[in-house]
Amino acid sequence: MRCKSHLGKANLENVNQDLEAICRRLDSAKEVLVMAGAGLSTASGIPDFRSPTTGIYSNLKEFILPYPEALFELEYFKKSPQAFNTWCKEFWPGENHQPNLGHYFLKLLEDKGKLSRVYTQNIDGLEAAAGLPSSKVIEAHGTFTTAHCTSCGGAAEIQEVRATILTDRDPTCPSCGGWVKPSIVFFGEAMPPRFFDEAEEDCEFCDLLVCMGTSLEVYPFAGIVDAPKHQTSRLLINYDLVGSIGARPNDLAMLGDIVMSVERICERLEWKEELLEVQLEKELGVQD
């Protein structure tokens, strides 16, 4: 990634919030690159990290952590894995949470041949649960689909790890006895190689960047927002104005509830029926 910091500050005065303009740009786009953050999944019942009263970091008293971020810190996990494993039991993908219309909107973009790639900070797997193929999703902060030992690095069978955690036990490595965890990226761990291998090219060739539910505060993920060409349109679908949105000439935004924004866009583009069909097909497929 060539951008490591914002090249400008958010400025609402320079942001086009006109629904017609937003829909025209989405309709004409052929290579849509998406950045997704925790705000995309809040409508699925998954809290974000930093909201003052509802965020994950503000609701960790039961774990008696030295500081909230310790829950996702590698060295702390190696000393005391119980807190993270307890958190895992509640938030394991597919156990208690399902995709919302924001996730199905991404699948609709893929069905229409518009989606280039989704870069997600989320570890909940809801992009895949909505039907997006793995080739279209880069999980920048890791995944619950694989697991490894934090001592020797050896691979572990994810279903065995899941079963162990769901029965309130802490998974251990059969080879060295070290603590095993799902392969989500902790503080102190490297991001997946795919992030660095593909992000620069995806940013170079996208004709629309869509940011959904991200604070654009965590790097290097946040650097994606400034990596496309200066004239490339950037659309923010978020609760608040963030990052450098408004610092470029073709920036657009829909602020407020993300699902409601997606519904408004799809209604105006006459995509609403298709969006609901995507959701219904996937949910019926899950039931089958």
Give the catalytic positions in this structure. Answer: 141
> 35 pairs with which residues across the strands?
119, 211
**By C-alpha distance, which of 37, 83, 94 is closest to 60?**
83
Query: Are 234 and 253 a contacting pair, CB within 8 Å?
Result: no
**Which 3 state secondary structure label does DSSP give 169?**
coil
**Which 3 state secondary structure label does DSSP give 215?**
coil
**Which 3 state secondary structure label does DSSP give 230?**
coil
Q: What DSSP string describes 239-277?
A: SS--TTTTSSTTEEEEES-HHHHHHHHHHHHT-HHHHHH
Q: Which two tokens stand for residue 276?
A: 């609901």
Helices (H), 60-157: 74-79, 82-91, 101-111, 126-129
Query: Are 150 and 179 a contacting pair, CB within 8 Å?
Result: yes
